[in-house]
């Protein structure tokens, strides 16, 4: 799979801009995608957690995807988040995303009934989606949100499916990432979703990352990736140390509202969040603005 | 609120039956509601977690609600689960449920972005829903699923809203339930969602329960409730000890598939689950069948 | 066992008073035990968590036990905490405690290596201690401190040993307590260690409690117990609601320092804590003083 | 501090061998230390968790330390675990360890009363120990055992003390390790305690490691360390992939019993564990033996 679809490298999980009334602001979205298209980013992820996917109707999601596809070069992969609680809902979302131009779909494990969905049921879920999806599937492990982690055994089973191309691992646990990366090196692609460990993740076998901060400083995220590919480890480690504080501010620190504020400060494309999320307060604005300054020079 | 809407007593959170293809089986639903209507249950909850709400489209949810309302006596309250990740989505679902005949709506806290939705944002969410909902709102605390618990302070704030009538507490933590029940005794109604502690919950201030096992043995759940109301504590404790093993089998033990199997064994109304949930295996069937036997005499 | 040793009722887990230099203050200890001896408490627990046992040397523990035994009526049970990480250490501590006059010993499960001590090893540990102990053994389940809970299966195995008389359950989880209490009703004694659920625990099968707040208001704790025994449930529930806020202040709220401050305010017997614990601050002092006021009338 | 005491590099946390009766087997200990002295290991840690410190009396600990000191070259650092629940106990243990020849002491945070020991109290604890200790202090963060993690703020405060030379971080969380390593690079030494992330830890700023598996294959652990120092990242990553499965077997997989079995298979120095720990079963023996084979060639 990975031969035909270039998944390696740095991807940005784009936010979904809303206006002050909470309606989709597709023009702001367009501006942001256009800006990223001018960067060396490998790809985009639309409708992920950073895209407030859980806040969108299916129709809104479709409108977002159409607009992103129109603005993003067809030569670079566009991923779409399609995870749902039911297998049938996920299949439907994957098919829709493919119709709208997604090159691959990202499937988070169902978690609402996690105590009664064992390894076999998870595997059946992933395989059913992969069987039905017209485009390659990436698994999505995000234990901080779902309350459980995929095991290496589950990932290994899934990785045997010809339409499952890789996964996103969103945690700081490098032992687990390395274990996933060792399953089918070079064939089953592992992308890190945790920017503060991007360098050690790449050094440990990750093929790239899908990182909120890549919306903010795409060039530098790609630069870090290229440092590692070229064996410039000291440079990669140094850039990581600079990147981490900013990465935290737009993720664990202040969440999507922080990310959107950073984008608006850089020229637009962030927009409002939907309640119950709320805008960042004055202290957060100041902290983000100060953290951005050195990168704007 | 509670004066006009009788929320006290035992409610059944009804499952949503599917056929072998995973389609809604509304006739099975009708049979189950009709059976419960012949019992002394105080009320029903449709589209709760036991209703596999996370697996349903909005249209399917509407069809379920219509059918339940038609079969359930208008003199007894029908509650509907309407929690969504966004405030606007929850408001929309609450209005729709009220149009379709729900007498009250149950709102679980948004949890997808829980680390960035603080007490103020939660309170704003609940109040916005209560402002917009044509029918009373009940909060829903289910820490096992959401990964966090509502605090007494948050509940107390919400309880001050004239359209927030009470809450469901789904845990075995009796300290927390008692704290919630002490907020506005007699006015803000606390219903337990954890059958193995029904008796101590009622003794500690709960006004009733919303219990999966009440789908299976409604009469005996109501009997336990009446024992406590009448001061027959020894009888209540003894009945609790009988009830607990069965309650576990259709909840923590085997989940919704266990509940559905039990209902089908009692004459129908359970049906299939939707993937990634799966039917109970042979050992579970045997255990549930054996646990049901003494109650069928 | 329980026939000969009266374990039912309310016990106080006494703190260990230190002077300003952190040395044992045995006279203060004596004053506190003497005060409690004038109350209707069923028994005492020395060298439990409230006794800062983890802060004491073995010799200090022995001096504490001797002094408590001297001041506490021989007709009423004195329990001693003897849990250690090794089986041999626990056996040694149990023998020493029995020599010094303890009527029973409380054994918390080893937890330092919990991921490599499975059910069989735990069972072997408890049985080895029970085989060697000259006095009856009580198990101690305190998941908040050890990071795991004893299972019903483990307790049931242990309860079959003739020298294991019961257990202390320190949590607000009434489902678990009821499960333990149902193992050998009337024979294997379950004592609650969580005062805010004392009433529902007694209603659910607990034979009594070992409660920090019983150091502060022993008469009222016993009164609640007697209410339940006599079937006065409304009175028990009302007293519980009064007791809970005070109980929290001297446990989860401000810990042992809070308990000691409360005792000193009542006339002595609290004393200092050992570092890294620290005295309560001014706000805590005020809160505890205000909470005590109504009980002093 | 680190100028005078060479803490960088790979250290082995040695186990404490017992005979079949559970008594100290100091001759076995001597054999193991002598074997390690012939390796290029930087240093040893005695009386750590792998040393079953929680199972030892203070006198046993002293005998272990004496014997290790006698067999371990005075030119290479010997660290001793001295953490206790009380500040006074930790101070006493640190002084004793220094008298017996330890070059530095490792202090795990007290955890028995963790909910009432806040950042200020932790800081006071570490500083009091550092003030009193004749030899440098290393902090020990092991959240899997204590149930909480030291924060960067707490470590930063402690790192300002002239007698606190560094810390051991035992987790797979590379974001946290990198944060600690960035506090005083080159001055405050961070050693990883999690072998499966040794390579990314070293790449992210760790100065070395204290690793159970370094008891088993000391040369190869040092080789990995040297690869990173020399910029041979591909070789380091490849060696890490070989090392990880063995490292897991003697830690998370089978614990100290697994480590001891591996040592005995290599020629002795492991010995028995103390109950409630138990020997590895036949399946574990086979797995460990097979994992060792490739390293023995």
* Buried-state track A151-188, b at ≥16 Cβ within 10 A, e below 16: eeebbbbbbebebbbbbbbbbbbbbbbbbbbbbbeeeb
Residues B74-106 have pLDDT tens digits of 999 999 999 999 999 999 999 999 999 999 999
Neighbouring chains to D with at least 3 Cβ pairs closer than 8 Å: A, C
Q: Say what percent of chain A tops pLDDT 90.
A: 96
Any idea of the CA torsion for B182, B183, B186, B188, to the nearest 10 degrees?
Answer: -130
Size of interface C-D (CB pairs under 8 A): 95
Helix (H) or strand (E) holding C68, with range, is: helix C58-71
- Region of A16 (left: φ > 0; alpha: ψ -120 to 50; beta: rest) is beta
Burial class, B55, CB count within 10 angstroms (exposed 0-12 / middle 13-18 / buried 19+): buried
Smallest CA-to-CA distance from D250 within D259, D242, D241, D260 is with D259
Is the pLDDT at A2 greater than 50? The verdict is: no
Give the percent of chain C with pLDDT over 90.
96
Q: d(Cα B266, Cα B35) in Å, to the nearest integer?
A: 10
From B174, B179, B241, residue closest to C200, measured CB to CB: B174
In angstroms, rounded to a whole number, what is the distance separating the alpha carbons of residues B208 and B191?
5
The string over C17-44, giving b where at least 16 C-beta atoms fall within 10 Å of a residue's C-beta and e elsewhere, is bbeeeeebbbebbbbbbebbeebebbbb
| Predicted pLDDT at B268 | 86
Which secondary structure element, helix H or strand E, spans residue B80, and what is its range? strand B78-81
> Which residue stretches of chain D have pLDDT < 70?
1-4
pLDDT at B20 over 80: yes
pLDDT at C3 over 80: no
pLDDT at C48: 98
User: What's the average model confidence in pLDDT over C120-133?
Assistant: 98
What's the CA gap between C165 and C87, in Å, rounded?
19
Contacts of D86 in chain C (CB under 8 A): 54-55, 274-276
Rounded Cα gap, residues B141 and B148, in angstroms = 9
Radius of gyration of chain B (CA): 18
Cis peptide before B276 (omega within 30 of 0): yes
Query: For residue A4, what pLDDT is reported?
Result: 67
pLDDT digits (tens, 9 = 90+) for C17-38: 999 999 999 999 999 999 999 9
- B and C: number of Cβ contacts within 8 A: 72
C203 contact partners, CB below 8 Å, separation of at least 6: B199, B200, B203, B233, B237, C228, C233, C236
> Which pLDDT score is estimated for C2?
41
Q: Do A174 and D182 touch (CB under 8 A)?
A: no
| A168 catalytic residue (yes or no) | yes
Tokens at A45, concatenated? 């992820």
Q: What is the pLDDT of residue D5?
A: 80
Exposure class string for D137-167: b at 16+ Cβ within 10 A, else e: bbbbbbbbbbeebbeeebbbbbbebebbbbb
Residues of B with CB under 8 A from a CB of A: 22, 49, 54-55, 57, 85-89, 110, 112-113, 115-117, 120-122, 124-125, 128, 144-145, 147, 252, 254-257, 274-278
Does B178 contact C203 at a Cβ distance shorter than 8 Å? no
Look at C274 and D88 and tell me if their CB atoms are within 8 Å: yes
Which residues in chain D are contacts of C57 at CB distance < 8 A? Answer: 89
Q: Which chain B residues are closer than 8 Å to C231 by Cβ?
A: 233
Residues forming a β-bridge with B10: B209
| Percent of chain C residues topping a pLDDT of 70 | 98
| C88 → chain D, closest CA residue | D275
| Pair of tokens at residue D171 | 């987790």
- Closest to C48 in 3D by CA, of C218, C209, C230, C196: C209
Pairing of strands B43-46, B9-13: parallel
Q: Are A284 and A254 in contact (CB under 8 A)?
A: yes
CA distance A16 to A35: 15
**CB-CB neighbors (< 8 A) of B173 in chain C:** 172-174
Phi-psi region of C278 (alpha: psi -120 to 50; beta: other; left: phi over 0): beta
Picking from B182, B197, B240, the nearest residue to C241 by CB comes out as B182
Q: State the catalytic residue, choosing from D168, D227, D254, D272.
A: D168
Structure tokens at C99: 């020599």
Question: Going by beta carbons, is chain B in contact with chain D, meaning 3 or more pairs sit under 8 Å apart?
Answer: no
pLDDT band at B4 (very low <50, low <70, confident <90, very high): low
Q: Is residue C232 a contact partner of residue C213, using CB atoms and an 8 Å limit?
A: no
Nearest residue on chain B to C240, alpha-carbon basis: B204
> Which candidate in A69, A108, A168, A272 is catalytic?
A168
* Catalytic residue from among B125, B168, B176, B227: B168
What distance in Å separates residue A22's CA from the closest CA in chain D? Answer: 34
End-to-end CA distance of chain B: 40
Interface present between C and B (3 or more CB pairs within 8 Å)? yes
What ipTM does the predicted assembly reach?
Answer: 0.96
How many angstroms away from the CA of B45 is the closest CA of chain A? 18
Cβ–Cβ of A237/D197 closer than 8 Å?
A: no
> Using an 8 Å Cβ cutoff, are B64 and B56 in contact?
yes
CB contact under 8 Å between B128 and A275, yes or no, is yes
A211 burial type by CB count under 10 A (0-12 exposed, 13-18 middle, 19+ buried): buried
Instruction: Return d(Cα A277, Cα A55) in angstroms, integer.
Output: 10
Q: Which residues of A touch D205 (CB under 8 A)?
A: 237
Give the pLDDT of residue A130: 98
Instruction: Tell me the C-alpha distance between A149 and A129, whole Å.
Output: 19
CB distance B276–A121 less than 8 Å?
yes
Residue in the structure block whose two tokens are 């409630």: D276
Contact C222, C39 (CB under 8 A): yes
Q: What is the CA radius of gyration of chain C?
A: 18
Residue B287, number of CB atoms within 10 A of its CB: 16
Q: Using alpha carbons, list the distances in angstroms from residue B188 to B2, B5, B125, B183, B211.
A: 7, 12, 18, 7, 19
- Interval A173-200 mean pLDDT: 97
Counting CB pairs under 8 A, whether chains A and B reach 3 or more, is: yes
Other residues' Cβ atoms within 10 Å of the Cβ of residue A101: 17
All partners of chain A with 3 or more CB pairs under 8 angstroms: B, D
Both tokens assigned to D79: 């660290």
Evaluate if residue A254 carries a pLDDT over 50.
yes
Q: Is the pLDDT of residue C295 over 60?
A: yes
| Rounded-to-integer distance, Cα A106 and Cα B195, Å | 38
**D261 close to D292: Cβ distance less than 8 angstroms:** no
Per-residue pLDDT averaged across C163-186, rounded?
A: 97
Residue of C116, C139, C278 to mutate for D, most D C-beta atoms under 10 A: C116
Please, which pLDDT band fits residue C5 given cuts at 50, 70 and 90? confident
Q: How many beta carbons lie within 10 A of that of residue B290, not counting itself? A: 11
Residues of D in contact with A205 (CB under 8 A): 237
Q: What is the pLDDT of residue D2?
A: 41
Q: How far is D274 from chain C (nearest CA, A)?
A: 7
Residue D274 has a CB neighbour count (10 Å cut-off) of: 21
User: What would you measure as the largest C-alpha separation in chain D, in angstroms?
Assistant: 52
Q: What is the mean pLDDT of chain C?
A: 96
Cβ B277–A121 below 8 Å, yes or no?
A: yes
Q: Is the dihedral of CA B166, B171, B174, B176 positive or negative?
A: negative
């Amino acid at each position: 799979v990975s031969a035909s679809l270039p998944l390696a490298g740095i991807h940005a999980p784009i936010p979904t801009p809303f206006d002050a009334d909470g309606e989709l602001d597709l023009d702001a979205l367009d501006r942001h995608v256009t800006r990223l298209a001018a960067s060396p980013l490998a790809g985009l992820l639309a409708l992920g957690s950073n895209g407030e996917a859980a806040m969108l109707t299916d129709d809104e999601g479709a409108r977002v995807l159409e607009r992103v596809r129109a603005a993003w070069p067809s030569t670079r992969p566009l991923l779409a988040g399609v995870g749902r609680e039911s297998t049938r809902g996920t299949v439907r979302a994957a098919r829709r995303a493919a119709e709208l131009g997604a090159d691959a779909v990202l499937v988070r494990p169902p978690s609402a009934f996690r105590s009664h969905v064992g390894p076999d049921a998870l595997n059946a879920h992933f395989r059913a989606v992969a069987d039905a999806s017209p485009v390659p599937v990436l698994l999505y492990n995000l234990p901080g949100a779902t309350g459980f982690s995929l095991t290496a055994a589950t990932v290994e089973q899934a990785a045997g499916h010809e339409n499952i191309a890789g996964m996103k691992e969103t945690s700081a646990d490098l032992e687990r990432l390395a274990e996933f990366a060792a399953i089918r090196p070079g064939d089953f692609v592992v992308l890190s979703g945790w920017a503060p460990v991007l360098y050690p993740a790449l050094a440990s076998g990750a093929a790239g990352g899908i990182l909120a901060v890549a919306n903010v400083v795409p060039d530098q995220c790609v630069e870090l990736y290229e440092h590692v590919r070229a064996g410039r480890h000291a440079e990669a480690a140094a850039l990581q140390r600079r990147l981490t504080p900013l990465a935290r501010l737009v993720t664990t620190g202040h969440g999507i509202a922080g990310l959107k504020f950073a984008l608006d400060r850089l020229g637009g494309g962030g927009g409002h969040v939907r309640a119950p999320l709320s805008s960042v307060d004055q202290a957060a604005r100041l902290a983000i603005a100060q953290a951005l300054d050195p990168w704007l020079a």
